[in-house]
Amino acid sequence: MRVPLTVGDFLERAALVYPDRVAVVDEPTTPGSFGSMTYGQLHQRARGMAAALDDLGVGPGARVAIVSPNAARFVTAFYGVSGFGRILVPVNFRLNPDEVSYIIEHSGATVLLLDPELDATLSAVQAKHRILLDGVADAELFAPATRDPERWVDPDEEATASINYTSGTTARPKGVQLTHRNLWLNAVTFGWHAGVTDRDVYLHTLPMFHCNGWGMPYAVTSMGVKQVVLRKVDGEDILRRVDEHGVTLLCGAPAVVAAILDAAEQRRARGDEIPGRQRVRMIVAGAPPPSKTIERVETELGWEFIQIYGLTETSPFLTMNRAPAEWDGLPSGERAQLLARAGVPGIGVKMAVDGEGEVLARANHVFAGYWEQPDETAKAIRDGWFHTGDGGFLDGPYVVIADRKKDVIISGGENVSSIEVEDALYQHPAVAEACVIGVPDEKWGETVKALVVLKEGATATEAEIIEFSRGRLAHFKCPTSIEIRDALTRTATGKLQKFKMRAPYWEGRDKAIN
């Protein structure tokens, strides 16, 4: 017997087994907040959403884009869209109008679900059906089902469930096609390795648009876990909710860890308690944090630190570093150093490093390809292996990420294409040459730095160039510093040698990423 693996399975099980259990506690500040709803109610809202899309003539395979911070509506869309054979397109709400427009057009989305706080900023972004998520315009879309939605007649686990756009080495983002099989197996293996049980309480600190919240929303839903929605990352607010809701599990980039540690330090100075000690597990990815940060999580917060490594193209879970029993008696500093590695392969995952030092991966949850970009797909998957673009090495079964081969900077867990930033800088009338690199930053892991050569006779200040970039790029992509130089380091053939220009900023570190 072969039963297709589809994302609808996760909510179907939760509604069957835990119908009266609280599923989602919505962010109270969200327009038209759903408040607290059970798994039975979430299931009915998802079915109602599918029926409403039927009425709009949006059939299987159609793309539904959502541009929103974390919200219960986003959780509902994971199932109300993909669970009935349509394709969800989660969009980074921090992108500028041109970038969002490109994604809507490129994906062919006919439905655009938009947070009302973004309505004015994204007024030029249009789709056949443009619906504000304000509790009024979307009331019918998210109303509990009053009739059965049309069945997905022939469920196919190889069908695309979501298209997640990621910044890469090109100026335009690429649409990563993740199938139902990709998402199902990622959620199950990730949830298993993370030890998700029905006794957990999950806090959505990770953006839901970011590789579908790493797939954790699927994993926790299947186990009937209470999910607490966080709309905006704030260290003290996170600690308050950990205490208020009895949170046991959360995920985030190193910047989120830094915000929590800062808030905890302020609490200690006031003599206030740090909640969650010996109860919370925090899963971190986006860039390997310094071992000192890891040590602080486990000693100052008393939380378990878990690191994973992966990419949007891998759904994303590839490796996990979770301290085994053998490390229990180690000094905290030594344990933290061991936890700084990317981790060992998850079940069903194979990792390797090629002759050039690039990390390769094979897994059932490696993506189907880039949407409408077969040439880019062929570059990424070669000879049966996915080429991550990261440089590293193997330490026994452990993968260690040591450098980034692609021209990508990861700042606060967000991918920034250096080529895209350079393209924006070249539009400045005073800029003759530009080289964008990632440099270490205590808060964001890495931050964007631009090395610039001005045109002969031209003048421009650092502040002017940064302000110019802010008019053309999402703010998280803009350089935080500009260094004006007489010349850039190039090869004999004129190619920029970014690794040489990056090197001085990473001197004294054992890795060229942070």
Which tens digit of pLDDT belongs to each residue from 234-284? 999 999 999 999 999 999 988 789 889 989 999 999 999 999 999 999 999
> Does residue 395 share a domain with residue 454?
no
The full 3-state SS of 323-388, as one line of letters, equals: CCHHHCCCCHHHHHHHHCCCEEECCCCEEEECCCCEEEEECCCCCCEECCCHHHHHHHEECCEEEE
Answer yes or no: do 4 and 150 share one domain: yes
165, 195, 225 - which closes a domain: 195
What share of the chain has pLDDT > 90, as a percent?
Answer: 71
Q: Within this chain, do residues 137 and 162 fall inside the same structural domain, yes or no?
A: yes
Clarify whether residues 26 and 60 are in a common domain.
yes
Pick the closest to residue 346 from 372, 290, 307, 304 (CA basis).
Answer: 307
Mean local confidence (pLDDT), 478-488: 89
CATH of the domain at 434: 3.30.300.30
pLDDT (average), residues 42-70: 97
Tell me, yes or no, whether 468 and 384 share the same domain: no
In terms of domains, do 31 and 81 share one?
Answer: yes
Residue 364 and residue 471 in one domain: no
The confidence score (pLDDT) of residue 216 equals 98
495 and 386 co-located in one domain: no
Residue 355's domain comprises 345-404
What is the largest distance, in Å, between two alpha-carbon atoms of the chain? 74
Q: Taking residues 344-358, what's their average pLDDT? A: 94
Dihedral angle computed from the Cα positions of residues 35, 39, 45 and 50, in that order, rounded to the nearest 10 degrees? 150
Asked which of 162, 177, 195 is the last residue of a domain, the reply is 195
Residue 270 lies in a domain: no
- Alpha-carbon distance of 514 to 504, in angstroms, equals 14
Using alpha carbons, select from 296, 299, 300 the residue that is nearest to residue 267: 300
On whether residue 144 sits in a domain, the answer given is yes
The DSSP call for residue 476 is G
Q: Residue 250 in 3-state DSSP?
A: strand
Confirm whether 10 is domain-assigned. yes
Whether 315 is covered by a domain: the verdict is no
DSSP string, 85-104: T-EEEEE-TTS-HHHHHHHH
> pLDDT band at 493, cuts 50/70/90?
very low
Averaged pLDDT, 60-88: 98
Do 456 and 374 share a structural domain? no
In a domain, 298, yes or no: no
- Percentage with pLDDT > 70 across the chain: 95
State mean pLDDT over 193-219.
Answer: 97
Which CATH number do you get for residue 399? 2.30.38.10
Residue 475 has pLDDT above 70, yes or no: yes
Average confidence score pLDDT of the chain: 92
Model pLDDT for residues 150-174, shown as the tens digit of each residue:
999 899 999 999 999 987 555 688 9
Q: What is the CATH classification number for the domain harbouring 164?
A: 3.40.50.12780
Per-range mean pLDDT, top range of 4-8, 94-98, 152-156:
4-8
- Residues 418, 407: contact at Cβ < 8 Å? yes
Are 4 and 88 members of one domain? yes
Distance CA 411, CA 440 (A): 9
Please name the residues in contact with 300: beta carbons below 8 A apart, sequence gap of 6 or more: 261, 264, 265, 268, 274
Q: How many domains does one find in the chain?
A: 3
- Residue where a domain stops, chosen among 195, 224, 254: 195
Q: Has residue 226 been placed in a domain?
A: no
Contact 297, 281 (CB under 8 A): no
Give the C-alpha separation, 346 to 500, whole Å. 34
- With a cut of 80, say whether residue 499 has pLDDT above it: no
97, 133: one domain:
yes
Q: Is residue 439 part of a domain?
A: yes
Which pTM does this prediction carry?
0.84
Q: Tell me if 513 is assigned to some domain.
A: no
362 and 474 share a domain?
no
